[in-house]
Structure formats: C-alpha cells, structure tokens
Structure 1
Amino acid sequence: MIRAVRHLPLILLLPLVLTGCGTEKAASGASGASDPSGPAGSSKPSGSARPAPDRSQLEARARYMQSAMEHIYATDVDGYSLAKQSVGVSGGDGFSSAYVSKSGGRIQLGVDRGTLTEANCAERSVYPAEGGSVKCERDGTFWYRTSGNAHEYARAEDGHVVRIGADGAVDRDTLRRAANAAHHADDRELDEILPQQVPTAPVERGDLPPVGDGAPNNDVGVGG
C-alpha cells in the first residue's frame, strides 16, 4: 500500500504535463500565424513602398494632357533626370519630354504618329535644328539623323515614331544610350510623368453674364 501511495502523485501529474506541452505548442503556432510581421503572414507593404497607381486614373490624366497612352515613353540615362515642366502633348496626341543634366545637357524625347523609312528619313527636321538639310545613317534598329549642330536617333514602332534628339552638347554615345533605353512608360513611371491634377468640371469664368451670347460684361458705371 505504501508503494502504491508513493507512485500515485506521478500518475496523476502525467496528464497535466502532457496537457501543458500540447498547450504550449498550440499557443506558439497561433502566435506565429497571427503575427503580421512574419514573412508568411505579412500583407502590409513596407513603409517606403508606394501603392500601385490606379490605371483608370492614369488614363484620365493622360486624356487631360491629350496624349495617347501608347505614345508616352520614358528613358534612363546616367546623369540625366526628367524635367517635369517639359512634359506635354506633341502634335495631335503625341508626347514630348526632356531630360537634363547638371552640366547643361538636354535630351529631347518625342513620340508622334507616323512612319520612318529610308525614303522619308530626310524629310523631317531634326530636333532642335530648324530647317536645313538632313543626313540619315542606319544604326541598328534606329536611324541616326543629323542636321547642322543637331543630331537624333529615331525608330518607327507600331504606327508611331520615337525620337531622341539633342544638340552638340550631348555626344553621340550618350544619345544612343538614351535611345536604346527608351520604352513605353510603365504605371509607376506614368504616375511620375503625367500631370497630377485633373479638373473634374469646366472652369467657370466670373466675368461671363448668365444670359446672352456669353461675351464678357465690359459695361462701366457713371463716369466711365
């Protein structure tokens, strides 16, 4: 009887020990699954990550600028950055922008509807030259075009022509790198390029009378 009594507490404690171990494992698993900072359960972007721009808003901003989405290009050249104030429409629904360097170099990017072939290569002026004879030279998939102090790389793509031009301050190798890097702007690039504010309603002018032909009211009082 004495031996049985001595072993009784160990027998009674065994279920408690097993239960305690099981509880610890479950709690640990639940903590890991619910921890939002863990790699598997994390769904929050890091503090430095920007949310992806809404495509419909990007399209609205492009319409406001009057450029077709397929004509909005970007490029990447060491030492050059986009001049936001240069961004705008070119022609009917084309696109134009400029990249500048601290040393004063300026590379012009332009996209317009049209074609570019050996037959018509010399018919279009070279940016930024005004008039003058144009010489064309084939360079890979591009035409290298020169006129006076201006030179340009141009390529036809899907009904439009992509042009990368500059004056003599930008050497040919730099211009070629800019041309090779030119591409359709992705959504994040579009978010940087396109105007941020899009009016939701026509701007109302306060000097227009509520009736009549809409001409400004220029009446003056007594004494003129």
Structure 2
Amino acid sequence: MIRAVRHLPLILLLPLALTACGTEKAASGASGTSGNSGRTGSSIPSGSSGPAPDRSRLEARARYMQSAMEHIYVTAVDGYSLAKQSVGVLGGDGFSSVYVSKSGEQIRLEVDRGTLTEANCAERSLYPAEGRPVKCERDGTYWYRTSGDAHEYARADDGHVVRIGADGAVDRDTLRRAAKAAHPADDRELDELLPQRQEPTAPVERGDLPPVGDGAPNNDVGVGG
C-alpha cells in the first residue's frame, strides 16, 4: 500500500538529488513539446515512437497509487529532473512529486482538491515555514505566495489547486517557469511516472488462525509442551 505523502522534509529528499541525476535525464529545455501542441515539455521522456500506453492500465496503476488521474501533473524546468522516488499520493487522492537539480535544489509539485481565492490565499501555511504569516501577490493566472524563506506559485484548476514550491535556494524566476510549464500528464508521461503495479497486494493468509472463535492464533501446546 502506498502511503500518503504530506510535506516531505527537504533533508529527507537529499538522497533523491543523488539518485535522480543517475536515473532521470533532465529535459533539454522548456521549449520542447511533450505531445500536445503548444505545451511545454516535462522532464519525463515522452517519445512518440511505439504503441500508445493502454489507458485502462494507466487508470489501474493510478488507482494503485491512490491518486485521481486529474490530479497527476508534470512540469519542466532547465536543469531539474523528476525524482521518481518522490512520486506519490497527497492527502486523499492528490498527487505530489519533487524535481531536483544536480546541485541539490528541489522544486515540489503538489495537486490536491480545494479552492484558491484572494480571500483564502493566505490561509494555508507554506512548507517549510509552517505557522508563519503568508503574503499573496497576483502574478498572471497564479498567486505568488511567500512566507519567510519559502515561496510557491499556486492556482486553482477545475476543483483542485496546483502548487509549485521551494525554499530560498530556488529563485523566483525558476519557480515561475516551473509553474507555467505545469500541466496534466499525458498518457506517455503517466506511463513513465506511475508505479507498474495495478492492484493492491492481497492480504497475507495466516495459517495459525482457527476457523471459529474470535480469530486469535492457536497457541495451544501438546502434552509436555
């Protein structure tokens, strides 16, 4: 069972910076396309060769991860690669991932159910500055939210909120580019980032449980035991 991802402490994601560089190749730039005309590409390989992924299998893999398909987004920014180890469910059926640079800077992408308006923009704390006041500034279709050394771009999109955040090691222009490039994953991108499993693991069969009674293990011992 995949456990819900809340806010992964940056220090816990440091190993991702080391492994991601060897397992995920960064996009050559945000100007590439990922299959949809006019859309910036992601750092997930999304080549057009080969048969298209089976949609029903993708949906089964998303159910196994416990994320709603409409919440699975990807992004792209020069010098950053998706750390596949970071991909997982956020809250009930949201989605979370982390993009890591070669020097270890991290950009978090989070999508979850909710709304975002001028009235509630400052209500939700920013990681890693929980409990500190939040300032909101309109920037195009996004809200630019800051709190201490933490900042993020966030926008509402059809019943969910897309958040792209980082600490002060990532400058605002880089974060804005990542936010503008964020988009719902297409089928090939889904095929690259979703876990290969399609169904939860079956419960383990206990051989020492009696067929009747309260189900407690039978710990009886024989004569002389």
TM-score interval, normalised by the smaller of the two chains: 0.7 to 0.9
Q: 1:217 to 1:131 in 2, by over 3 A?
A: same
- 1:187 aligned onto 2:224: no
What's the counterpart of residue 92 of structure 2?
A: 92
TM-score of the superposition, structure 2-length normalised?
A: 0.72
Distance verdict in 2 for CA 1:91–1:209, change over 3 Å: same
Alpha-carbon distance change, 210 to 126 in structure 1, aligned in 2, over 3 angstroms:
same
Percent identity, aligned pairs only, is 75
* Number of the residue aligned with 1:54: 54
State the match for 2:133 in structure 1: 133
How far does residue 127 in structure 1 lie from its aligned partner after superposition? 2.9
Listed one character per residue, the Cα deviations across residues 88-128 of structure 1 (whole Å, up to 9, x for unaligned) are 11111111111111101100000011110110000011133
Residues 133, 57 of structure 1: alpha-carbon distance in 2 compared, 3 angstrom cutoff:
same
Letter of the structure 2 residue corresponding to residue 113 of structure 1: R
Cα displacement (A) at 1:129: 2.4
Is contact 1:208-1:214 (8 Å) kept? no
Distance 1:101 1:119, change over 3 A: same
Q: Which amino acid aligns with 1:202?
A: A
Query: How far off its partner does 1:197 sit?
Result: 1.4
Secondary structure at the aligned position of 1:76 is classed as coil
Q: How does 1:10-25 map to 2 (within 5 A)?
A: none
CA RMSD in angstroms, aligned pairs only: 2.2
Kept in 2: contact 1:208–1:215 (CA 8 A): no
In the alignment, does 2:74 pair up with 1:74? yes
Write 1 or 2 for the structure with the bigger share of helix: 1
Deviation at 1:192, TM superposition (A): 1.0
User: Are the counterparts in 1 of residues 210 and 217 from structure 2 also a CA contact under 8 Å?
Assistant: no
| Structure 2 CA distance for aligned equivalents of residues 200 and 214 of structure 1 | 26
Task: Report the alpha carbon displacement of residue 83 of structure 1 after superposing the two structures with TM.
Answer: 0.8
| Pairs aligned (count) | 177
Larger relative contact order (Cα-Cα within 8 Å, sequence gap ≥ 6): 2
Which residue matches 2:151?
A: 151
Q: How far did 1:206 drift?
A: 3.3
Q: Distance in 2 between matches of 1:207 and 1:179?
A: 52
Read off the aligned partner of 2:64 and give its amino acid letter. Answer: Y
After TM superposition, the score normalised by the length of structure 1 is 0.72
**Partners of 2:168 and 2:211 in 1: CA distance:** 57
Task: Check the 8 A contact 1:107/1:165 in 2, yes or no.
Answer: yes
Which residue in 2 is equivalent to 1:142? 142
87-96 vs 196-205, which moves further: 196-205
- Distance in 1 of aligned mates of 2:207 and 2:149: 49
Relative to structure 1, the CA distance from residue 167 to residue 197 in structure 2 (aligned partners, 3 Å threshold; closer, same or farther) is: same
Return the alpha-carbon distance in structure 2 between the equivalents of residues 213 and 81 of structure 1. 54
How far apart in 1 are the matches of 2:207 and 2:74? 41
Give the direction of change, closer, same or farther, for the CA distance of 1:180–1:210 in structure 2 (3 Å limit): farther
Distance between the aligned counterparts of 1:57 and 1:141, measured in 2?
Answer: 33
Q: Which shows bigger deviation, 202-211 or 126-135? A: 202-211
Structure 2 residue runs without a partner (length 5+): 1-47
The answer to whether the 8 Å contact 2:112/2:162 transfers is yes
Judging changes above 3 Å, is the alpha-carbon distance between structure 1 residues 74 and 210 closer, same or farther for their aligned structure 2 residues?
farther
Does 1:170 pair with 2:170?
Answer: yes
SS in 1 for 2:76: coil
